[in-house]
Structure 1
Amino acid sequence: MSSSNGGWIDALVRPSTVAVVGASDDPKKDSARPLRFLRRHGFKGTVWPINPMRETVLGEKAWPSLADLPGVPEHVYIVTAAERVEEQVVEAARLGVKVATVLADGFAEAGEDGAEAQRRLVEKAHAGGMRLLGPNSMGAANVADAVPFTTNAAWEAESLVPGRLMALSQSGSLIGTLVSRGAARGIGFHSLVSVGNEADLDVGAIGEAAVGLDGVDAFILFLETVRRPERIAAFARAADAAGKPIVVYKLGRSPEAQALAVSHTGALVGSDKAADAFFRDLGILRVDQFEALLELPALLKGRRPDAARRSKPVAVVTTTGGGGAMAVDRLGAAGIEVEGASDALRAHVKQAVGLSLKPARLIDVTLAGARYEVMKTVLDGLLDSGDYAAVVAAIGSSAQFLPERAVQPIVDCAGHDTPIAAAPLPQADRALAMLSEAEVAGFRSVESMADAVRAFMEWRPPKPLPTDPAPEIGPARPAAVLGEADGLDLLDRLGLTTVERRLLGPDDAIPDDIVYPVVLKAVSADLPHKTEAGAVALGLTDRTALEAARDAMRAHLKTSAPGAALEGWLVQTMVRGLGEALVGYRVDPEVGPVISVAPGGIFAELYEDVAVRTAPVDLAGAREMIAQVTGLRALAGWRGRQAGDLEALARTVAALSALALDPDLRVAEAEANPVMVLADGAVAVDALVRFA
């Protein structure tokens, strides 16, 4: 094991000297567990239990305080009550301890006073050059090196399975779930860390440091939220450079984000979609099935993201027709193309083992029975062809009763350039253990298999860091929603093409030189959604129609929006496009700036047909986003329709996303909706901008 960060990562996960502050002599208490578990699992270092009320703890000499110890521990676990934590942190930092873990809760999660107490803990720790894990942390447990410095009850087990996975979890109890479920499958861990409140050491900081550990090949994350996205980004880039994949299972939505949103974008792009974009753009594989969190890493072993893979199908071979059909169905629901054996492979199998494969999407060998030579021949042919992104083997009852016939050929096929995923349909613990021991990806259900294969197919390297300069659009504004006229002016300065328009005061006369037809809009920062308020009139063909529309709108707003401050009237050239798009930018409260594109107009939120990426994006990224949106495909010339200028729309997306290059502007949301896509060009005809 090695590291290159000054030693705190080794002190965190592989210390040689530790102290437990507040260690209990009652073996039933949580505060007795760290000492018990260290002894139970064979920790070879020095343990100093600290309890000023006792001479011994669990039969071992107890010490009254950290200052009384005969040496300085590398890692201290503070398991005292919350009100005594700060004094212990101060003492540990003064003595030169490298890492302190805090078990107690009642800090940032408990309100403003707790948040202030937590801030002081970090300040006191850093003053002595010490790093802090927690508060609310169940500790760091190293299985590979027998350092279970944790209060998690999973370490009551007599033995645990070592491995090369590192788990970082915001839920302390979940590290026990991962350990127990992994042990049942023969899936082992190098170490597991409960990060707690992440007051100091967070998922990103720990992960980035742990990338340098020789004993870790991959990371799995259990997240309830995303804290400090910039540190997770640094972790992801370091892990990618080292060839150590990251798989994440994330809970949680953000109702706060929805409450703050005033744009269609805010309602359309919740924090979960933003999180999807965040992970994808950093090369982190997100799974929806908890089992896949444990199972996917084996599929990734020794592999890298590959753009060519995404254009290839997946093959499914099965010894159970119904089970194989389930696998095909789940893969199809995940958007994965499934393709059967080629003519050449079917001819080869016929000649080699006498089996006639049907020309179908499912490669069904059920009629041949569970025969080693049949499975091995078919699998070798599929894996060697180079035609598939992955091969899935769905195994029936033979996985439970005759694994040497149906599972052994899968094991013996490991090592091909094309990965293989095995999904036994019955309860087949022996088969799954065989697969784990051979480091072949085995899946307990077709649902988790399809989820993992989807994540594998979508896997891409981290998006390159932006190099373009920030746009010059003027100073930040006070927290406010801009009126449409000012919003369109801001889009102009970003380089978007906006509609020709004339801004009139509330009582200005209609100019004589307006070219009709036009659109009339009431200008008010209090009217972010004008259509709903009756503040838009379309297709006005002359001065009389324009004046009548203004009078009617003024009267209507007195009842539909009585509190709205009318700033004036916007008279715009009537633009008719081939289609409409919504392009939106927002700063997500969890992951930061994101850019989105969707079909435009008043139904944008209804269909939830949206592509989201972290901002900024370049032209290539913008084109990829547009291609993902079903409602915009007609603009590519679908079924002979006139094609819209999607390249101009891509320039619009990229230009708006450049807001992310200058966070000092404090733009919380910016939206062009609709953007009229023309045969030649794309024009933003409405804008909404909110400053934080």
Structure 2
Amino acid sequence: MAASTVLTGAALAQALLRPRSVALVGVSDDLAKPAARPLQFLRRSGFAGAVYPINPKRDAVQGEQAWPDLAALPEVPEHAFVMTATEHVVGTVRECARLGVKVVTVLAGGFSEAGPEGQAREEELRRLSRETGVRVLGPSSLGVVHPSTGLILTANAAFAEPDLPRGKVFVASHSGSMIGALLSRGKARGVGFAGLVSVGGEADLSLGEIGLATLDDPEIDSYVLFLESLRHGAQLQQFAREAARRGKPVIAYKLGRSEAAAEMAVTHTGALAGEDDVADAFFRGLGIARVDNLEALLEAPALARRIPLDVSHGHRAPRVGVVTTTGGGAAMVVDQLGVRDVMVQPPSEETLARLARDGLPCTPGRVLDVTLAGANYETMKKVLAILLQAPEFDLVLAVVGSSARFQPQLAVKPILESADSRPGARPLAAMLVPDAPQALAELTAAGVPCFRSPEPCADAIAAVLRRRQPGPAATAQAQRAGAGAFVSEAQAYELLQRLEIAHAPAVTMPLAQAPRELPFDFPVVAKVCSAQIPHKTEVGGVVLGIADSSQLGEAFATLRRNLAERAPGVACDEVLVQPMRKGLMEALVGYRVDAEAGPVVMLAAGGIWAEVAQDRALRLAPVTMETAREMVSEVKAFRSLAGLRGRPRGDLEALAQAVCSLSQLAVRPQLGIAEAEVNPLMVLPQGQGVLAVDALVLRS
């Protein structure tokens, strides 16, 4: 098979999920071994395609004819599941490629995670795929499951479960064990699946490419992703953008939430934008709802299907109206929503008046409590009708108490009847406080978003309501590790001028000579100016508060002395002199190209507070002005510049414009910038703009 015939799109999805023939290479006759499971599962599920057990040591496996090798088969299988020992995998995949097998799933581990020898094996798999066109799933893949065709091609023991639930949710997971966990949890909740794929090590096929290949499948209406990292971020981006365009929501759970920052960062932006912060920005910028709770991973798709991705709340928090038959249960949800910055919106005076006119027994407040006396079908139905027409809510959540378990006709039935899935209808969700599996099953079957505990309920609501349409795609690419070079601060200012970001006036002078007359007034600051010294303060390369010409000459001498002591042999011929400037507050605006997520832009409190306060907002670049304003509103330090308690207002609009302008590096790859940072960027009084007084730029 030539590389020009590499399977993609629908053809890839067919061979991966709906193959007409499957070879089980290394299948075991010992029913206790994982390598015996795929044959058992395929026979039990009634898979209609041809199945070819391959075992060179046996003529029969599990009572069926076995073949000694792939070449002995009566036809070339479309999909081969390779369950051999690690040392035999590459040879088997090479044989698959020679014969023309379209997709090979590799169960074995011992590749990139196993040191240099394993890395070499994985690179050989990658080379085989690239040069021959054979598509490889894995290594360390537990397999592929497609319930509607009976393809249970997996060694995961969880798929011994009878009557696998069928539905329209597609699961792709880095972890093989998680497809089994999600299957069993889904079955318990009445959630069915269109497919489940364990992507493993992604030597060839990535999670993003598999998602992209299945997007046109009418049997799939939403995606659930379990990620260990953002490997193959470009393909994941492409998938997410296309999923958003087709209106198929994507829900993600990613491991690795921690405060650990990047170890090899060269700017504050790199140090502050740790892996998980970048992941958050990645998901947010692509319309993916990231949840923190495993239960929410299964519950969120139904909610996401009811809420269009293009719903925008501007800078405000999303607003949820809560109606309840149990004050305590509602209080738990309100608390969990609050810690996620989701506003529980009290009914407006107009809404309360409508309720009163209809004689509905409600206790008004942040939560509308229909009380025990009002927990009946007619009351709940009428209350829901009014709340779902109220403009103050983005979502209505009904929290139902004990009646959900034993008398669902009182409060659950009106929820079922009131939920409207038509475009533009106000979404309605439910949380059932007692253990009420029958009511949950009925709600799930009807497509009504429903939850059984407050934490995943709030997690899913917050994640789904914060989704946004993907912004413009970046064109800048990550540089090779170790590549790139800094420019001097004077050259960095030239870049800012091209981006129309204002900076303080500056002149450069020879360090070895006496300073000449300045074009601006004292006091000034003098800084060493060299591409070899990106962090000037570390070598004593900054002198502040210079009051006159005499002190400026002394400052030059101080800089020469400090360089000789702290940076001997480092090239530095110039000094940059600027007038001292002071704003209402310092900001940091940074840009960098992440190796997996692509270009990102960050806004934080500037100066020393950048690292101390960890008060920041991060997005995929480029950003629009609307998104830049949203970032400004997220950084707590800047709230004092909004006229808080009579304090002077800062030019936050100019700050947002600076964020937007710097982020445009993402679509100007011809400038060759890997990282750029302005710190500090002085925020001046309202109407006076912002002013860069230091900048650091790394060219790719």
Partner of 1:490: 495
TM superposition shift of 1:509? 0.7
Structure 2 CA distance for partners of 1:345 and 1:661, relative to 1, 3 Å: closer
Partner of 2:4: none
Please report the RMSD computed on the Cα atoms of aligned residues, expressed in angstroms: 2.7
TM superposition shift of 1:252? 2.1
Question: Retained in 2: the 8 A contact 1:330–1:447?
Answer: yes
1:453 correspondence with 2:461: yes
1:578 correspondence with 2:584: yes
Q: How far apart, CA to CA, are the structure 1 residues paired with 2:573 and 2:181? A: 59
Partner of 2:430: 422
Partner of 2:665: 659
Structure 2 CA distance for partners of 1:188 and 1:340, relative to 1, 3 Å: same
Q: How far apart, CA to CA, are the structure 2 residues paired with 1:69 and 1:397? A: 61
1:392 correspondence with 2:397: yes
Q: How far apart, CA to CA, are the structure 2 residues paired with 1:14 and 1:6? A: 11
Partner of 1:16: 20
Q: How far apart, CA to CA, are the structure 2 residues paired with 1:579 and 1:633? A: 11
Query: Following superposition of structure 1 onto structure 2, how do residues 192-591 of structure 1 map, counting pairs within 5 Å?
Result: 192-252=196-256, 258-309=262-313, 313-350=319-356, 352=358, 354-368=359-373, 370-415=375-420, 417-465=425-473, 479-513=484-518, 515=520, 516-523=522-529, 528-531=534-537, 534-552=540-558, 555=561, 566-591=572-597
Structure 2 CA distance for partners of 1:685 and 1:4, relative to 1, 3 Å: closer
Question: Retained in 1: the 8 A contact 2:338–2:344?
Answer: yes
In structure 1, give the amino acid aligned to 2:79: H
Q: How far apart, CA to CA, are the structure 1 residues paired with 2:216 and 2:196? A: 16
Q: How far apart, CA to CA, are the structure 1 residues paired with 2:408 and 2:8? A: 44
State the SS of the aligned residue for 1:407: helix
What per-residue deviation string (whole Å, max 9, x for no partner) do you get for residues 477-501 of structure 1? 9633334333333333443322222
Instruction: Give the percent of matched residue pairs that are identical in Structure 1 and Structure 2.
Output: 49
In structure 1, give the amino acid aligned to 2:88: R
Q: How far apart, CA to CA, are the structure 2 residues paired with 1:129 and 1:589? A: 26
What per-residue deviation string (whole Å, max 9, x for no partner) do you get for residues 202-231 of structure 1? 111110110011111100100011122221
Q: How far apart, CA to CA, are the structure 2 residues paired with 1:439 and 1:228? A: 33
Q: How far apart, CA to CA, are the structure 1 residues paired with 2:212 and 2:474? A: 21
Mean CA deviation greater in 561-570 or 277-286:
561-570
Q: How far apart, CA to CA, are the structure 1 residues paired with 2:313 and 2:488? A: 47
State the SS of the aligned residue for 2:343: coil
Query: Following superposition of structure 1 onto structure 2, how do residues 630-649 of structure 1 map, counting pairs within 5 Å?
Result: 630-649=636-655
Mean CA deviation greater in 361-370 or 191-200:
361-370
Question: Retained in 1: the 8 A contact 2:261–2:272?
Answer: no
Q: 2:681 aligns with which of 675, 684, 691?
A: 675
Q: 2:136 aligns with which of 118, 132, 142?
A: 132
In structure 2, give the amino acid aligned to 1:284: I
Question: Retained in 2: the 8 A contact 1:89–1:125?
Answer: no
In structure 1, give the amino acid aligned to 2:554: A
What per-residue deviation string (whole Å, max 9, x for no partner) do you get for residues 524-579 of structure 1? 55654444654433221102222334444555666676786655432112122233
Question: Retained in 1: the 8 A contact 2:487–2:697?
Answer: yes
What per-residue deviation string (whole Å, max 9, x for no partner) do you get for residues 154-187 of structure 1? 1111222111100000011111110011111111
State the SS of the aligned residue for 1:307: coil
Partner of 1:141: 145
Q: How far apart, CA to CA, are the structure 1 residues paired with 2:258 and 2:600? A: 15
State the SS of the aligned residue for 1:26: coil
Q: How far apart, CA to CA, are the structure 2 residues paired with 1:688 and 1:449? A: 43
| Structure 1: unaligned runs, 5 residues or longer | none
State the SS of the aligned residue for 1:317: strand
Q: How far apart, CA to CA, are the structure 1 residues paired with 2:350 and 2:666? A: 52
Q: How far apart, CA to CA, are the structure 2 residues paired with 1:349 and 1:648? A: 45
TM superposition shift of 1:606? 1.6
Q: How far apart, CA to CA, are the structure 1 residues paired with 2:569 and 2:449? A: 61
State the SS of the aligned residue for 2:56: coil
Q: How far apart, CA to CA, are the structure 2 residues paired with 1:600 and 1:503? A: 25
State the SS of the aligned residue for 2:344: coil
Q: How far apart, CA to CA, are the structure 2 residues paired with 1:24 and 1:561? A: 66
Query: Following superposition of structure 1 onto structure 2, how do residues 157-196 of structure 1 map, counting pairs within 5 Å?
Result: 157-196=161-200
TM superposition shift of 1:100? 0.9
In structure 1, give the amino acid aligned to 2:580: M
TM superposition shift of 1:358? 2.7
What per-residue deviation string (whole Å, max 9, x for no partner) do you get for residues 231-280 of structure 1? 11211122122211111111126999611112221222212111111111
TM superposition shift of 1:608? 1.8
- How many residues matched? 683
In structure 2, give the amino acid aligned to 1:413: S
Question: Retained in 2: the 8 A contact 1:593–1:660?
Answer: yes
Structure 2 CA distance for partners of 1:342 and 1:677, relative to 1, 3 Å: closer
Question: Retained in 1: the 8 A contact 2:512–2:573?
Answer: no
- TM norm structure 1: 0.92
In structure 1, give the amino acid aligned to 2:382: T
Question: Retained in 2: the 8 A contact 1:480–1:690?
Answer: yes
| Structure 2: unaligned runs, 5 residues or longer | 1-6
- TM norm structure 2: 0.91
Question: Retained in 1: the 8 A contact 2:654–2:689?
Answer: yes
What per-residue deviation string (whole Å, max 9, x for no partner) do you get for residues 99-156 of structure 1? 1111111112223332332222233234443211111111111123221111111111
Q: 1:107 aligns with which of 102, 108, 111?
A: 111
State the SS of the aligned residue for 1:165: strand
Q: How far apart, CA to CA, are the structure 2 residues paired with 1:371 and 1:591? A: 51
1:155 correspondence with 2:159: yes
1:89 correspondence with 2:97: no
